[in-house]
Amino acid sequence: MAVVYLSLGSNEGDRQVTIQKALVGIEAACGRIAAQSSIYETAAWGLEEQPNFLNMAVKIETTLTPIALLDALQQIEAELHRQRVVRWGQRTIDIDIILYDSELIEMPRLQVPHPRARLRRFVLVPMAEIAPEMIFPGTNESIAEMLEHCPDNLAVHKIA
């Protein structure tokens, strides 16, 4: 059984309902949700002229391989009407694999740990809520330490 951390985000439509539907889909198709963070509202990162996001982190236990998990998550995104039009653009749902056990994965379709997680407060703040002491693979830093050194200055506000 692999322990995996995911980041969920939504800034289109009824964001909270979409995140709840994604959680149901994750539990049905990917594995048991062992922990989940609060929901946070954040300004958009990268392409800033768009609505704010709701973000959260979840810890799941899965028997799926990394690629099978990616495929299942992308299917959930498709079912929730995710469209990939503009990089970092507006979306109904975004589900990223942040950590898969302590593995370092370099594949054309998948890089784990997520290559930009350490640069994004909207990923690190929810992750620090559920796994502050987790050592980020390939580093000597915990999630909490990464958050302390994160160069991102966008506000992340807990809403639920």
Helix (H, G, I), strand (E, B) or coil at 55: strand
Q: What is the pLDDT of residue 115?
A: 84
Sign of the CA dihedral 32, 108, 147, 125?
Answer: negative
Report the pLDDT averaged over residues 73-88: 77
**pLDDT (tens digit per residue) in 34-56:** 999 999 999 886 666 778 999 99
Catalytic residue, candidates 15, 91, 120, 121 = 91
Res. 85: pLDDT tops 70: no
CATH architecture assignment, domain 2-158: 2-Layer Sandwich (3.30)
The rounded mean pLDDT for the chain is 91
Per residue in 98-112, pLDDT (tens digit) is 999 999 999 999 999
Task: Name the catalytic one among 14, 15, 71, 82.
Answer: 82
In the chain, domain spans: 2-158
Cα separation, 121 vs 143, whole angstroms: 11
Question: Which segments of the chain does DSSP mark as H helices, in order?
Answer: 15-29, 66-79, 121-130, 143-149
The answer to whether 118 is a known catalytic residue is no
What pTM was computed for the model?
0.93
Could you confirm whether 96 is annotated as catalytic? yes
Q: How far is CA 128 from the centre of its chain?
A: 12
Quickly state the pLDDT bin for 81 (edges 50, 70, 90).
confident
Q: Among the options 96, 120, 121, 152, which is catalytic?
A: 96
- Active-site residue (options: 15, 32, 87, 94): 94
Residue pair 10/36 in contact (Cβ under 8 Å)? The answer is no
